[in-house]
Amino acid sequence: MALRDAGEVRIFQLGVAGVDYAVVENDHYLSYLNQYFEQKGVKYQHFMKHFMKHILPACTDVSISEEHLKTDLKITESQIR
């Protein structure tokens, strides 16, 4: 957990069963997100900035519930989908 706690890696739960996980270096993940949102165009720039500034630092859990995204992080249904 030391690398995760230090923000060097992120751990993602793959699927709903909770038996498969992916470990990704944080720098690679941020690079991927930047590239992904750049391809989406200007429409997603505000969401990307919000996501990178507020959501990523607040979410270190392996899995994030839809309810947590909506209630605590103020993400709309359309932004989730």
Q: Where are the domains of the chain?
A: 2-80
Give the Cα separation of 3 and 57 in Å (integer): 15
List C-alpha distances in Å: 42 to 33, 38, 46, 52, 75. Answer: 14, 8, 8, 16, 18
How high is the pLDDT of residue 53? 83
18 phi and psi angles, rounded to 5 deg: 75, 25
- Do 21 and 13 form a contact (C-beta atoms < 8 A)? yes
How high is the pLDDT of residue 2? 83
State pLDDT tens for residues 11-58: 887 877 767 888 889 889 888 888 888 887 777 778 888 888 887 777
pTM, 2 dp = 0.60
How high is the pLDDT of residue 62? 57
